[in-house]
Amino acid sequence: MTTQNISPSTLAEAANRSNREPSSRTDAAGHVDFALDTLNTYASLGRVRTYQERQSNSGNPDIFDRLERVAESEDWGGPTPDPSDDLGVLRYYVHRRFDRAIFEEMVFPDTESLLSVFNSGLVTARQDDIYGLFVPNTHTDNPPWYFRGWHVSGDQQLSSFAELPAPAAYSVEPGEYFLDWNRPLRFSSYYFAQSFSRQFPNAVREIPYGIELAVDAAVARSLKMAKRNPGTAVPSWNHAKGEIQLLLPMFFTDPEIPCAALSVSRGPESYQASEVISMDRAYRRARLVARPCASWLTTTRECS
């Protein structure tokens, strides 16, 4: 799609329609609804290929295929990939990153070039920023914008923008990304035993009181590991709550293979354990903030 037949009035309508989106993300109390998928309401993305099409190399490359090709090499299936979606982590990343960019007002429209742009947060192998570019959608019954493609910094397609957006930030407080072991961690092993038992191995669940004891031991070990190696606590973004959380490994049946991750929120004086999540969800949340380096989260192993 080209911009030559798109009038300024079309752009204005697209901008007006998309600018209404952030306000619709709040409820009656003014709380942000992070569950909305902003990207699909902002722009038409074109047809997305199925896993079978990618495996057979059929169909035209879609928005995710094209981003995978231009970004520096990474396994976007994650350590334990979904057999039916080898780009599952990338899909989640793009949608949640755009949500944050909208919330931070880091999606820039340009009235003269009839374009809008956001920073994907990803880079090429040469560390050039990658931007998503949109043109106004001429079909008024569809989302206001149409996704045009991915472009790197310095690309002629981006030259009309006086300023390009920075990657959307999740927090401006550096302390939120690191575990301060001088702060106490508050949690209820009984609550986790009742609320998240499905995340624990069968061997633990078979003992009525076993989950509570296992949670106590797993948390104590994780805190000990984090104190010895600060890289154990992995920063992540909880999209539903709209906050940075730290992830800690939970070991139950094997001293080297974590079965789940504990998400921890930072309070004024202490940390609060929030929930126990699967390793897949932990990796996806962590990848929103940065490419995870902790071996407990990046190594592909099965927990029995």
DSSP 172-190: S-GGGGS--TTS-EE--HH
Which pLDDT belongs to residue 202?
A: 78
Q: For residue 3, which of 111, 101, 155, 105 has the smallest C-alpha distance?
A: 111
Q: Are 48 and 147 in contact (CB under 8 A)?
A: no
Its pTM stands at: 0.84
In the chain, pLDDT over 70 holds for what percent of residues? 86
User: Using 50, 70 and 90 to split pLDDT, how confident is the model at 57?
Assistant: confident
Does pLDDT of 37 surpass 80?
A: no
User: Using 50, 70 and 90 to split pLDDT, how confident is the model at 6?
Assistant: very low
Between helix 8-23 and helix 88-103 the angle, nearest 10°, is: 90
User: Using 50, 70 and 90 to split pLDDT, how confident is the model at 302?
Assistant: low
Q: What is the pLDDT of residues 63-72, one digit of tens each?
A: 999 999 999 9
Which pLDDT belongs to residue 1?
A: 33
Which pLDDT belongs to residue 33?
A: 42
Q: Distance (Å, rounded) from C-alpha 240 to C-alpha 260?
A: 19
Which pLDDT belongs to residue 198?
A: 80
* 123-132 average pLDDT score: 97
Which pLDDT belongs to residue 283?
A: 96
Q: What is the pLDDT of residues 130-180, one digit of tens each?
A: 999 999 998 877 899 999 999 999 999 999 999 999 999 999 899 999 999
Which pLDDT belongs to residue 2?
A: 33
Does pLDDT of 88 surpass 70?
A: yes
Which pLDDT belongs to residue 210?
A: 82
Instruction: Sort strands 115-123 and 145-152 into parallel, antiparallel or unpaired.
Output: unpaired
Show the CA angle centred on residue 269, arms to residues 263 and 270, nearest 5°.
30
